[in-house]
Amino acid sequence: MINFSNFEKKTGIIFKDKTLLQQAFIHRSYINENPGVPLAHNERLEFLGDAVLELIVTDFLYKKYPNYTEGELTALRSALVNAVIISEVALQIGMNDYLLLSKGEAKDNGKARQYILANTYEAYIGALYLDQGIDAVHKFVNTTLLPKTEEIVNKKLWRDAKSLVQEKAQEFVNVTPAYKVLHESGPDHDKHFTVGIYFGPILIAEGKGKSKQEAEQSAALNALKIKNWLD
């Protein structure tokens, strides 16, 4: 197993239960390739961390922007708790160097790695919550993810991305974007959707969310970034 002492020094967070820290970085593919590993993959921790992260971000935005409507707060939260943004943060704090992946996944540095990093960040939050409680997670999120809020607000990345991408796509490439659910998981009370945005037959970007609408907004925002259509 990987030694996480350097990562702990970098984050300033020393885990009491080191197995929780290790588990946060174990991708399902690694377990499939190494069935003798005594730890499970990180998906249960990600499930927990996702909920804790959403609460912290929602609480922060609610207090910081008292004049925003529910719809504006939802759009802003979707822009912040987005696989692209979270994976950037995960890269910045060095999580990529500690991932436990199958040999095949380890070679892929494209979109798949982006989602793995975002999921690992959430799994780490789940592990930290279990190890040290909500205050420790709040401090971690406050120093890593929440500073991105100003950029998102200043660049208006939280605007209704679906309307904006439709406007830009019709202007620049003369097509109306279409959305398709690519993946759906979880029980009825906790669904997770992955949606693709298409220009004609071409898949431009993907987005994730707890509803189809949220996943579509995320996909639209990612398409705007890929096409460099954000002013």
Q: Which residues are annotated as a binding site for Mg(2+)?
A: 46, 119, 122
Do 206 and 213 contact (CB within 8 A), yes or no?
A: no
Q: Which residue, 53, 68, 91, 88, is CA-closest to 156?
A: 68
Q: Which residue bears the tokens 């436990």?
A: 100
Q: Is 50 a catalytic residue?
A: yes
Query: 205: which 2 tokens?
Result: 């970007």
Q: Which amino acid is at 164?
A: L
Q: Which residue bears the tokens 């802003």?
A: 76
Number of CB atoms found within 10 A of residue 46's CB: 23
Give SS3 for 104.
helix
Q: Among 8, 17, 43, 50, which one carries the catalytic annotation? A: 50
Binding residues: 46, 119, 122
Q: Among 105, 122, 206, 214, which one carries the catalytic annotation? A: 122
Q: Is 88 a catalytic residue?
A: no
Do 55 and 48 contact (CB within 8 A), yes or no?
A: no
Question: Which strand (E) or helix (H) includes residue 39?
Answer: none
Active site residues: 50, 122
